[in-house]
Structure 1
Amino acid sequence: MMIHALVIAPYKGLFELVSGLKEELSDFRLTMLQGDLSEVLPLVGQMEEGQYDVIVSRGGTARLLRQLVTIPVIEIHVSGYDMMRILTLVQGISSRVEMIGFPNVIDGFIAVSRIMGIDIPYTEIGREEEASQAVARAKEKGVGVVLGDTVTVRKAQELGMEGILITSGKEAVLEAFAQARYMRTIAARYEQKYTVYEHLLDKLDAGLAVLNEQNRFQYVNDAFCAQWGISGDKPLHDAPIERGTCLSKLITCLKLGIDIDRVALTCRPAHSTPMLVSAAAHAAEAGFYYVQSDSKPDSAAEHVLSVSFWTEAGQGNTFLQPLGQTANAGSLAAGDAPDGLPIAVYGEKGSGKRLWSAAWSGGEHTAQAEQERLFIAAELPKAGKLSLITLEQWLARLDQSAVLYLKGVEDMDASQQNALAEAITAAQAQVILSFERSPGELRRDGHLGSALFELLQDRIRYFPPLRDRRDELEALIRSLIAKSNETSGKQIVGLRPDVLNSLLERPWAGNFNELKETIDRLVHYAKGDFIDESALAGLEHDALSEGWRNTGSGNQAGISGGINLNQTLEAIERDVIQAVLKQEQMNQSNAAKRLGINRSTLWRKLKQNEHES
């Protein structure tokens, strides 16, 4: 096993000594550089890119490199033989001699000089910058000869003094390379184990990642990349995660001390498929965070907290504006800024409550407009005791830059609602409670406790369904076309009158969710500058051929229309996989993401299906 070593020699003699030992170092591939600290600093970046196994240097140069590079640095020490040779050399010098250097060298010389009965004054320095002052003081005391390293000797010579370099001999050099061999052997063993573990982790269906304090990947497996939509090759070690993404917001929560324990996480609006996620700070290693994710099992849906991190909070204020024009806000005006007091929003499912809340709390009205707000939408399960404990922890740790949007509070019992009201009152974060029925009705029916209602009764905003806001529907459609242009790369400028009239006459049972999905599909099918009848025909074709309906669910096109359900479970699974692959143009990565499995699992199922057929 050849060891690629970069040797940095602070003085020419060391360069020549190592060069002469190449036969004894035949298991090393040596790259040689000569230079002191000032000459080495500009080369640090090249060292990291050079794929070296180890760096060998000495003195202050070695100590500095250990602080600047991630490659192991082996220091060539000054051996006892070296000290005896130098002390013998200076013993007969008539000029006054002083030794100036770091403690690791000075201490050894003192011990050896006492054994040899030689008394040499010395000055210890802790940093390279102290060398100039120490040499100047030595000259003032009448010192004519200075013993030290390359920096100290150069300073002495600049002041007209004689400098004798403390050099390392053959024994010290060979000892350093022996240490390099041992270190590389140990590193190779760990690398082999790491490779085995990494291979095993890549076989798991669960996604796993480790990140550091700087939001950089330290490890990530294939399943994690597929589940989180990380495209291309797996991120390299120390690659940064993109700012503003769902993952970066998750790490922000961990840095605030919030542990994520079995939460159904959806990264809106980028992904619609929830994942069961657990994440926490590493218990033993400070500054490291682990994230585990998996496709959410159906059986877990009613028992875990559902959470989404909105990654576009504050970016949708313009196209959401029509939603607020006819909303009966009560005492909460459209231009009011978030002030930390809880508010309530209510209306039918899909009427835009969450979208407006994200824009209102993170947009231009935000008091902290220059700071990116953390918008967390959480939906409580029916059995919410564990979720209440989680929410209490979150509310205690989230600061004023965070927004917590809560659904399902009306399903909590009275004691849980009272505990939540206390936590909200003490919280610094902005809390928004979302309901489908008005808080007043919920209070009268016994589904909303007095403590929560009193917090909200003067701060309630109502969102009518689309069927009750026909006068603003056209403006909203045009805003959604503009938004869809941004993500699709199209430049649609409007709709033909017949298409617009068709849209205005629809019942829009799914409200804003249905409208947005419809507009996205129409923009996709549009061939020219306007959405015309051909795009509308494409939309209707989807409804017939794929089983897609304008339900406002936000799901992708269905596949049930082409699946024979009167067959075995294995056969249904095979047909579903083939249908999804066809819709994704046989792209296995996209198909695996749609199916909620990783690429290796999909590959195994395809191979199994080929064998059975």
Structure 2
Amino acid sequence: MEKLIEECREQETDMDIQIRIGNLQEGVELAKQAEAEGFEVIISRGGTAKMISEAVRIPVIDVHVSGYDMLRVLTLANDFPRKKAIVGFPAITGGAKAIIDLLDIPIDMFTIHDEDETEDLLHRLKQEGYELIMGDVVTFETASRLGLIGILIQSGRESLFDAFKEARTVARWLSAGRQEIERYKAVLQVAAEDIVVVSGQGEVVYEQWQHFSPRLAGAIGLDKDAFLLDRPGKEIVHVSDPEGQPVKVIKTPIEVGGSQGLVCEFIRQPVHPSASDKVEVDRSPAPLIIHQSESMNTCLAMVERSLSYDGFVLIGGRGTGKKMLARYIHDRKFSGEGLFASVKAPDLKEVCPESIDAEIKTLYICDFDRLEDRLEEAHLRNIEALRSRGLVLIFAMTEEQPVGENRIYDDGIIRIHIPALSERKEDLRELVTSCLLHFTQTLGTSAIRMTEKGFRLLADYNWPGNVSELRALLQEAVMLEKGYVIGHELIEQLLGRKDGEGGVSSRLLKGTLAQIEKRIIEKVLEEEGFNQTKAAKRLQINRSTLWRKLKE
């Protein structure tokens, strides 16, 4: 809701409205921080508003969900072709039922009376084939963690203005003192980007984080007497954050109104990169693979038949979703247990197999075909060492390489081809809907559907950049579209710009002969879906020459 709140607050010129983002307990901590800073009223919604009202001494205004807000969410979900449901407390499901019955929208309803019911219910719904879940924050976060698509039922513009009006009325009658401001002024005297204020009893009374997670405070024991000082002056200590990275803490005693306290400033310390830094752990939720098309169903069927293998080669053009499919393979093999990590192929020889976290079960090696003939003995040695550790290795290539004695193919490695977007147009509608859902939730954009003519324009385009190109175009579209429906005119404009870039332009012909030649090769490579074999054949040169010219 951040974007919507920012737009609404511009019309409230007589109110100082600050926006901070946090759900449930995280929201409570932010509210406590706001109270410490001297804010007069807090505006929140749902379960977070209820928890905040019990934790602070200043008024809390609850932003309600109106019938219009519910209608907007149901309209967004109506275009989703798979099983969907609303899960929530009676306040949500009761209001939604009237709209669903009136408009005859095919959405199932499940009412809960306690937050603890949510996880078991969503587990059951997932087993029954539901894929889209609408509800409050707890429902949304639980659905996302379980690999379901979640839609947060959010309050709209009208509800926000009602809350602003109520907050203005409450603030007009406030006469409470400003005792906490003194503590805030003391904090500013030793201002830092990441700070915690600890009371004389060892309680965290204020915290401000920009570069660290709030859990860093608990990780180093700031709520215990160990960090309290009896002597004046600053003290510097060195600790580690939850990830084991070094942090310098500057502790400064303060006194406010006769009460003793301690200000702790956190500063990240530089570390020298090691081989293990080349490996990046991905902790994102399990991906939803869209597969209405025959080509994508064939790809997933190949995955299901190959889950007993410990080595995979994923072959597909740029933007086809190789990393997403690799993550899908990991989750299917290990049922969500263990970690999924990735490394760039050129960095593979610098990775020390013994230094890799024991929790990592799958290692995704991207751009493996970029090594070409430079596959060194160090790469092969590390590949064998990683396999001997029991890791599942997934190699990503934009095209299939010939089998040779220095290549990775053997009987224990299975090859899986990922279709280009042009080969799976049946998935286009669901891909678009999925992207709109994602951008609505993450960017706060308004667009929730696209016209049929807009869909047809997308279907007629060849998509050389595949799903990544589609996603980039849709992100631009939702940022430009101020209404709820993306029209064909905007899609036509964005696609037309691509067509304008496709011909021989003055930009293409600028520079030296070598620069012009390289730009032409790159353009042909893009048009051929980054398939080097096809590009070389079209240019009537061999692949080695193509690779050499690209590297020059």
With the shorter chain as reference, the TM-score category is 0.3 to 0.5
Q: TM-score, normalised by structure 2?
A: 0.41
Give the structure with higher Rg (CA): 1
Q: TM-score, normalised by structure 1?
A: 0.38
Give the number of the structure with larger relative contact order, counting CA–CA contacts within 8 Å between residues 6 or more apart: 2
